[in-house]
């Protein structure tokens, strides 16, 4: 509305649009340009409201947020997560309950991500962090890193053992293949030896020697007279 009224006044001033015609009369006095003044006044009023209402709305929201304050679980959870993470890193050293809560509240107030949170939220988050202090000690970053290092070393040992198993498996396969080749060669040699023995058995009688099949040694027979 403010933009429309200001634009109409500018166009009317430049002669591109007519002024509002609304003659006013006060007693015997007539104001023929009353419409123009009314149009300019309305434009000035709405233009002033454009600057006043947003600023006043921000102030009202700020007052309402302080007056009608209510904690949200998201803010509490975010503040608690930051405090618990710092506790796992060993940032808090005080052991008594009061000192531990106060130390955590001081840490949360100085944290750059929690500047807009109310003190009540920081206090609740600090109390929750103090109550879960034992969990933070059990699952501290140092212990978690030590456990991860131990598991990583065991995994490396398993990988090295698996590599040794792979090497042994390849060696066994190579030995089995080699044994098969040797047995095959021995079989070939045996077949050749058997064939040679058979051929020798067939040839010896023809040249005057007794076959060694029935005797232990080969004995030369007497030569023929012719």
Write down the pLDDT at residue 165: 94
pLDDT at 224: 45
Please enumerate in sequence order all residues whose Cβ is within 8 A of that of 212, keeping only pairs 6 or more positions apart, or say none.
201, 204, 218
Closest CA to 82 of 36, 128, 135, 139: 128
pTM: 0.40
For the segment 161-210, what is each residue's pLDDT rounded down to a tens digit?
Answer: 999 999 999 999 999 999 999 999 999 999 999 888 888 887 777 776 66
Across 135-155, average pLDDT: 86
- φ/ψ (deg, to 5) at 24: -110, 150
């Amino acid at each position: 509305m403010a933009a429309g009224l200001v634009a109409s006044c500018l166009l009317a001033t430049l002669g591109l649009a007519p002024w509002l015609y609304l003659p006013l009369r006060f007693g015997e006095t007539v104001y023929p340009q009353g419409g123009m003044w009314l149009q300019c006044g309305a434009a000035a009023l709405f233009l002033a409201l454009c600057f006043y209402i947003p600023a006043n709305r921000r102030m009202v929201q700020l007052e309402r947020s302080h007056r009608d304050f209510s904690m949200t679980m998201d803010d509490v959870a975010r503040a608690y997560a930051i405090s618990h993470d710092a506790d796992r890193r060993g940032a808090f050293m005080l052991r008594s309950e009061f000192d531990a809560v106060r130390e955590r509240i001081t840490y949360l107030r100085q944290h750059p991500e929690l500047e807009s949170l109310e003190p009540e939220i920081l206090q609740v988050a600090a109390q929750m962090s103090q109550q879960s202090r034992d969990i933070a000690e059990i699952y501290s970053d140092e212990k978690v890193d030590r456990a991860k290092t131990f598991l990583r070393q065991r995994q490396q040992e398993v990988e090295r053992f698996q590599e040794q198993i792979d090497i042994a498996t390849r060696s066994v396969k190579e030995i089995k293949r080699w044994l098969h080749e040797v047995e095959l060669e021995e079989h070939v040699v045996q077949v050749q030896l058997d064939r040679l023995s058979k051929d020798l058995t067939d040839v010896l009688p023809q040249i005057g020697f007794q076959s060694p099949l029935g005797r232990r040694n080969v004995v030369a027979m007497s030569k023929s007279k012719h």
